[in-house]
Structure 1
Amino acid sequence: MRYFLSALVIAALSATTAFADTDDDNEAGPPAGLMAAGNRDKLPEVMLSVGEPLGGPWHLKSGRYYTVEITSDGSGEIGLSGADFFHAVWIDEVVVEGLEVRPTGLNSVEFDEPGTMKITFVAVKPGSYALSIPGSSGEDQRLDITID
């Protein structure tokens, strides 16, 4: 019985040491997952101004976390529509003047006054998409997006 208990204690200590070594290895490396800092990219700011180009194109990777700031100069009531794009991403949050909104999805955004909104999202569904100014037909009024 004494040998059995000794063997049990030795086995328990060995297992504890093995787990401790594994935990140290994980702490030394970067965290994994969608929200990890190493999986984040900041996209160029989108400037909304009457008659000005939107910029782009964007080339995104599925599974990466992105941040974009959209700013309107107030030169007119202007918005961006792109339901297909917004449905191909997981929206983490939309921040406007320090107020955070966590929607289940978007179809479009609109500015009635000058200001900036920050949208954070994870690209999910590969394909070709666009954000465009509603009612416009010019190529500059469209932001082409590809998710690989």
Structure 2
Amino acid sequence: MKHAILCAALLSALPALADDHAAAPAGLLAGSNKTDLPEVILSVGEPLGGPWTLNSGQYYEVEITADGSGEIGLEGAGFFRAIWVDEVVIEGLEVRPYGLHSIEFDRAGTMEIGFVAVKPGRYSLALPGASGPDQRLEIVIE
């Protein structure tokens, strides 16, 4: 009888022993789910870069750097509404906004945006007031 009770107690403890606290984090915001996008360089008169194809549900990070050649920004309300912004990092300061409409640099610097692509569709980020195709970054979320 004592042997049966001991066996039952050991068997009931097995799930607790199987929990591996050293395992890597899982889920949407885990590092293994992160994809780094090519850096976007903002410079007066220079192209923004090639198109992006993103997967809905995937976490992405992009660095946006302004070279200081002028006050310059990016607008893309449609794109910013189609993503969930996790954080914006500016010179080590982390901001966790509810959402974005546009970004602007008054001088040279770098900002990193971490986000999850959510709503499939075609979007763009563009320099405000610019009409040339090189002044626009085409984005597809699949």
Q: Same fold (TM over 0.5)?
A: yes
Where does the alignment leave 5 or more consecutive residues of structure 1 unmatched? none
Structure 1 residue 12: deviation in Å? 2.1
Normalised by the length of structure 2, the TM-score is 0.91
Give the number of equivalent residue pairs: 142
Equivalent residue for 1:44?
38
Distance 2:5 2:82 in 1: 54
Equivalent residue for 2:27?
33
Normalised by the length of structure 1, the TM-score is 0.87
- Verify: 1:10 aligned to 2:4, yes or no: no
- Give the secondary-structure state (helix, strand or coil) at the position aligned to 2:14: helix
> Percent identity of the aligned residues?
64
Structure 1 residue 23: deviation in Å? 2.6
Equivalent residue for 2:118?
124
Query: Who wins on radius of gyration, i.e. which is larger?
Result: 1
- Verify: 1:135 aligned to 2:132, yes or no: no
Distance 1:101 1:90 in 2: 13
Distance 1:6 1:132 in 2: 73
Match of 1:95 among 84, 89, 92: 89
- Give the secondary-structure state (helix, strand or coil) at the position aligned to 2:53: strand
- Verify: 1:147 aligned to 2:141, yes or no: yes
Where does the alignment leave 5 or more consecutive residues of structure 2 unmatched? none
Distance 1:17 1:60 in 2: 42
Counterpart of 1:15 in structure 2: which amino acid? Answer: S
1:121-142 per-residue CA deviation (whole Å, 9 max, x = no partner) reads 1111111110001101000000
- Verify: 1:67 aligned to 2:64, yes or no: no
Equivalent residue for 1:23?
19
Structure 1 residue 19: deviation in Å? 4.3
